[in-house]
């Protein structure tokens, strides 16, 4: 028997409860199944929405185990790439949304949805990063592939005190960029500077949208976790041939802009999809993240460690904006 956080959809309410399960209770994976002892998971904004029933994250059948991230040790495998005892990472591919996810001490996952844990990255560090760190690394890679390099000008990160934003600041800083962090949290300034931000700008400078279709060129590149009018402002303020990597919609999913920044300055809007990112690129991203982030980075980014029982309360705190950094879930810790 093992423990898992299970969501049930009762009339008008999603209920989350830690239950004892048997391995036979786990749904079978769609193909090339890998049976895992899950070591750690993490708490992402999407997880908070799922656990509290605040958003339409769950697209599978109830009951379901949420958790869009996991790192685990292989107990048994039908996938040729892995052997018993290997440590692997699972993020995206509808884990914790359609398929049972990482808030469980055991899991069955298709081997095609897993990548090896890189050498030099511990299981807890993998989940301190989690989807947030993976998304941040994909964003940095996209900027690099479109000519954004250290010394080329300031790179802006919006939503910088959040999980993905703070890791983006750390990655860009480690690469030698001049990093400008945008946040509405006055208490996050010292934290962001410790990660590599050279200056801080309040989020209200961007959230009203641009005053003109093309404004003064400020940014060589940007990583945007907000969307909406903030993203529209960034597009108008990019320098010639600058790029913005976009992965969030906390500020809205609509984008009001014009073609002028694209045809007059040749700027690039780069969409970042961490959910269905191909595995070859996943491996590259995880290996680069391992190389760029030091133990000190992970210590700064790590907010706290919780057990399965703590997830509902921590989810509410995360959605209320009360969390700075990343929450690690030790799924093997029984309280």
* Per-residue pLDDT at 249: 87
Rounded to the nearest 5 degrees, what angle is found at the Cα of 268, between the Cα atoms of 265 and 269? 135
Mean pLDDT of the chain, nearest integer: 95
Phi-psi category of residue 304: left, alpha or beta, with phi > 0 → left and psi -120 to 50 → alpha: beta
Residue-range domain boundaries for the chain: 2-117+294-330, 132-271
Neighbours of 277 (CB within 10 A): 18
Task: Dump pLDDT digits (tens) for 67-80.
Answer: 999 999 999 999 99
Q: Looking at residue 1, what is its pLDDT?
A: 92
pLDDT confidence bin for 335, thresholds 50/70/90: low
In Å, how far are 157, 183, 289, 299 from 195, measured between CA atoms?
12, 14, 14, 11
Structure tokens at 55: 């958003």
* pTM (predicted TM-score): 0.95
% of the chain beyond a pLDDT of 90: 90
- Straight-line distance from the first to the last Cα atom of the chain, in angstroms, rounded to the nearest whole number: 16
Residue 307 binned pLDDT confidence (cut-offs 50, 70, 90): very high
| Contact (Cβ atoms closer than 8 angstroms) between residue 331 and residue 105 | yes
Scanning the structure block, which residue is given the tokens 């690469």?
175
14's tokens = 């999603």
- How far is it, in rounded angstroms, from Cα 171 to Cα 321? 23
pLDDT reading at 334 higher than 80: no
pLDDT score at 166: 95
Looking only at the bridges linking them, the beta strands covering 115-116 and 154-157 are: unpaired
Domain 132-271 listed as CATH 3.30.2010.10 = no
For β-strands 115-116 and 87-91, DSSP reports them as antiparallel
Q: pLDDT tens digits for 86-143?
A: 999 999 999 999 999 999 999 999 999 999 999 999 999 999 999 999 999 999 999 9
**Nearest-angstrom CA–CA distance, 224 and 232:** 10
pLDDT at 252 (0 to 100) = 87
pLDDT given at position 321: 84
Element (H, E) at 263: helix 260-265
What number does CATH give the domain 2-117+294-330? Answer: 3.90.180.10
* pLDDT (mean) for 176-180: 98
- Give me the mean pLDDT over the 260-287 stretch: 97
* Tens-place pLDDT, residues 215-256: 999 999 999 999 999 999 999 999 999 999 999 888 889 999
Residue 12: pLDDT band (50, 70, 90) is confident
Distance of alpha carbon 161 from alpha carbon 20, whole angstroms: 36
């Amino acid at each position: 028997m093992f423990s898992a956080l299970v969501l049930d959809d009762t009339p008008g309410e999603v209920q989350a409860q830690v239950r004892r399960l048997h391995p036979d209770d786990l749904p079978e994976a769609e193909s090339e199944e890998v049976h895992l002892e899950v070591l750690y998971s993490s708490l992402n904004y999407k997880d908070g929405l799922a656990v509290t029933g605040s958003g339409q994250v769950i697209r599978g059948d109830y009951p379901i185990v949420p958790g869009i991230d996991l790192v685990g040790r292989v107990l048994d495998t039908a996938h040729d790439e892995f052997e018993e005892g290997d440590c692997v990472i699972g993020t995206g591919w509808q884990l914790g949304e359609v398929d049972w996810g990482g808030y469980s001490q055991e899991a069955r996952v298709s081997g095609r949805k897993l990548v090896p844990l890189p050498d030099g990255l511990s299981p807890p560090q993998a989940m301190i990063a989690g989807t947030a760190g993976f998304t941040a690394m994909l964003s940095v890679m996209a900027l690099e592939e479109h000519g954004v390099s250290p010394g080329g000008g300031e790179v802006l990160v919006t939503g910088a005190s959040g999980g993905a934003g703070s890791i983006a600041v750390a990655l860009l800083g480690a690469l030698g960029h001049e990093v400008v962090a945008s946040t509405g949290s006055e208490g996050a300034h010292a934290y962001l500077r410790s990660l590599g931000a050279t200056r801080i700008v309040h989020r209200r400078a961007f959230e009203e949208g641009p005053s003109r279709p093309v404004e003064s060129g400020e940014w060589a590149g940007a990583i945007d976790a907000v969307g909406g009018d903030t993203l529209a402002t960034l597009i108008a303020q990019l320098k010639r041939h600058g790029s913005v990597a976009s992965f969030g919609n906390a500020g809205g999913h609509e984008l009001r802009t014009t073609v002028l920044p694209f045809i007059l300055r040749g700027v690039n809007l780069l969409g970042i999809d961490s959910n269905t990112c191909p595995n070859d690129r996943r491996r590259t991203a995880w290996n680069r993240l391992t190389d760029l982030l030091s133990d000190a980075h992970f210590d700064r980014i790590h907010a706290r460690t919780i057990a399965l029982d703590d997830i509902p309360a921590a989810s509410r705190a995360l959605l209320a904006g009360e969390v700075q950094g990343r929450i690690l879930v030790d799924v093997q810790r029984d309280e």
